[in-house]
Structure 1
Amino acid sequence: MTLSKRKTLAVVLATHNEATNIERCLKAIQALADEVIVVDGASTDATVQLAKQRGAKVIETTNKPIFHINKQLAIEAAQSDWILQLDADEVVDATLLKAIDQLLSEESPKSAFWIKRKNYFLGAFLTKGGQYPDPVIRLFKKGKAYLPQKSVHEQMVVEGEVSQIDGHLLHYNAPTFKRYLTNANRYTSLTAQELFNQKVKLSWGNDLKYLVIKPLMTGVTLFMRHRGYQDGFRGLVFALFSGLHHALAYMKLGDLYRKAGHARRH
């Protein structure tokens, strides 16, 4: 019997000021990585230095308005058979590491895999409120997946069959509430820009929609329908501030219209 040649793995990241996270992220997967590609968007901390110390090939560029642009640059720079695209605040757990190791020794007909995520918020991982299993496509064959780079909320586009792999990504995106608010500020700004590009108007109807209806519906849906109440206080805070995302983005949309000299309400 002829044994198939073991496949190679590239770990790719886009970073911006991730010195507090990058080492933990790379250390967890380094044993399986044949290459590590980091596209850094003008970090002002030690991200680049720390990534290089972990053996990464670092491509330095600007910090793009849509972060997926730099993620796609990292994907395109990879040369390995399989690509694992990570965020710097994510960590591969032991079960996922073992599953990827097994995959690299096989001839898989799949083009890509969903990976479940555990999202860390206010001291623990959320289990409800739409935050688990939070599957994301992050592991794929080279040339079989890409990011459209049009929206902050987009998923990977895959050519071929997608399956699910065992294990989790541990997502430490909000280790503190301060960090959560920093992330929320960035994402609401990106959402506001998308609304501006879509020509969403400032009107009484949209005031009601974005300031009242969408926040209430989002909060109630996450807390009640998706059982965020089972996460207790953390579930309540997450549902509340997830709803406020719509209101904050809409208020920032007003800033964009005023900056453009088109603040007239409809």
Structure 2
Amino acid sequence: MSNQLTVLIPCKDESLNILPCIESAQSIADEILVADSGSTDGTLEMVSERGGCRVIEREYVNSADFKNWAIPQASHPWVLILDADERITKHLAAEIRQTLANPDKNIDGYWIGRQNHFIGHRIKHCGWNRDGVIRLFRRDDVRYQERWVHAKMEIAPERVARLKETMLHYTTWSTDDYCEKLNRYANWSVTNYVAEGRQPSAVAIFLSAPLRFLQLYLFRGGFLDGIPGFQVCMYSAFYSFMKQAKLWEVSHGRLESGAEPRQAVYSAE
């Protein structure tokens, strides 16, 4: 009883993903907790119609803030965070059950690898094959650091282990959605940069994109994933450029006379 598991699913406007995500979690979860941040596309209606989930709602500030609010509301001492675009495989579910049947008292969290997909195509190279996240952890002992994006969990390295099995991650189903996501993440990254005192660099603006593309496409084998791999590498390179360009804009962008100064913090939307 003490090792029961809450699967926490943070979401907003995830009507394409939410039901398959819940279906994949139900075999392992003693509770499915859906934390919604203002869906308007029917996501919550789909969750309600399906049944079997507890729903909590709150305004979204950033990922770390939202998850740190939701984690303590889990009913059980172990939590698995599962984004709506992720799926638990039957092999991973079996490993999690085995792990929680007799958890190591010296371990507070577990890394889980991800099999990443782009528009439905599995990406096996270009760095995406090395992806892993800490998602299974003790509810009362682990929180995210306060950052706008790419926040890490505040947990001592010696208190973390790694599961062998992986989850599925369907990064995007359309290029339109992916471009919006990259722009949003670039904005949040710049907010982090400004808070850290990072200064814009002309060299970074010129070189970040081509160097990133070469790293992923040639040295990390992105070319082996065909057209989907080429697209992933190109988008990743453009994302690197956007972060540098937006950082430059904060301090050097010229505004129309009388306009309000640019802000370092971008909207969460």
Normalising by structure 2, report the TM-score. Answer: 0.86
TM-superposed CA distance for 1:154, in Å, is 2.1
Equivalent residue for 1:261?
261
Give 2:79's match in structure 1, choosing from 59, 78, 83. Answer: 83
Give 1:155's match in structure 2, choosing from 148, 152, 156. Answer: 152
CA distance in structure 2 between the aligned counterparts of 1:199 and 1:158, rounded to whole angstroms = 25
Could you say if the C-alpha distance between residues 106 and 44 of structure 1 is closer, same or farther in structure 2, counting changes exceeding 3 Å? same
Equivalent residue for 1:221?
215
TM-superposed CA distance for 1:62, in Å, is 1.0
Equivalent residue for 2:232?
238
Contact kept? 1:96, 1:167, Cα under 8 Å:
yes
CA distance in structure 2 between the aligned counterparts of 1:133 and 1:78, rounded to whole angstroms = 29
TM-superposed CA distance for 1:184, in Å, is 1.1
- Where does structure 1 lack aligned partners over 5 or more consecutive residues? none
Give 1:8's match in structure 2, choosing from 4, 8, 12. Answer: 4
Matched AA of 2:30: D
Could you say if the C-alpha distance between residues 19 and 224 of structure 1 is closer, same or farther in structure 2, counting changes exceeding 3 Å? same
Equivalent residue for 2:166?
168
Alignment of 1:79-118 (within 5 A): 79-109=75-105, 110-118=107-115
CA distance in structure 1 between the aligned counterparts of 2:109 and 2:192, rounded to whole angstroms = 28
* Deviation sequence 1:147-171 (CA, Å, 0-9, x none): 1131411222224521111321111
Give 1:212's match in structure 2, choosing from 191, 206, 213. Answer: 206
CA distance in structure 1 between the aligned counterparts of 2:81 and 2:58, rounded to whole angstroms = 18
1:130 is aligned to 2:127: yes
Equivalent residue for 2:34?
38
Contact kept? 1:6, 1:104, Cα under 8 Å:
no
1:23 is aligned to 2:45: no
Could you say if the C-alpha distance between residues 196 and 67 of structure 1 is closer, same or farther in structure 2, counting changes exceeding 3 Å? same
Could you say if the C-alpha distance between residues 261 and 92 of structure 1 is closer, same or farther in structure 2, counting changes exceeding 3 Å? same
Give 1:191's match in structure 2, choosing from 189, 193, 197. Answer: 189
Contact kept? 2:34, 2:55, Cα under 8 Å:
yes
Give the % identical residues: 26
* Deviation sequence 1:157-204 (CA, Å, 0-9, x none): 2245211113211111212222221211211121232233344445xx
Q: Number of paired residues?
A: 254
Contact kept? 1:116, 1:167, Cα under 8 Å:
yes
TM-superposed CA distance for 1:241, in Å, is 1.6
Contact kept? 1:195, 1:253, Cα under 8 Å:
yes
Higher mean C-alpha deviation, range 138-147 or range 90-99: 138-147
- Where does structure 2 lack aligned partners over 5 or more consecutive residues? 254-258, 264-269
Give 2:141's match in structure 1, choosing from 141, 144, 155. Answer: 144
1:120 aligns to what SS in structure 2?
strand
* Deviation sequence 1:80-108 (CA, Å, 0-9, x none): 12110111110011110111122232243
Contact kept? 2:118, 2:173, Cα under 8 Å:
yes
* Deviation sequence 1:94-132 (CA, Å, 0-9, x none): 110111122232243322111010111133111111101
Equivalent residue for 1:55?
52
RMSD, matched Cα: 2.2
Contact kept? 2:119, 2:171, Cα under 8 Å:
no
CA distance in structure 2 between the aligned counterparts of 1:121 and 1:187, rounded to whole angstroms = 17
Contact kept? 1:117, 1:135, Cα under 8 Å:
yes
CA distance in structure 2 between the aligned counterparts of 1:195 and 1:107, rounded to whole angstroms = 38
Normalising by structure 1, report the TM-score. Answer: 0.86
Matched AA of 2:238: L
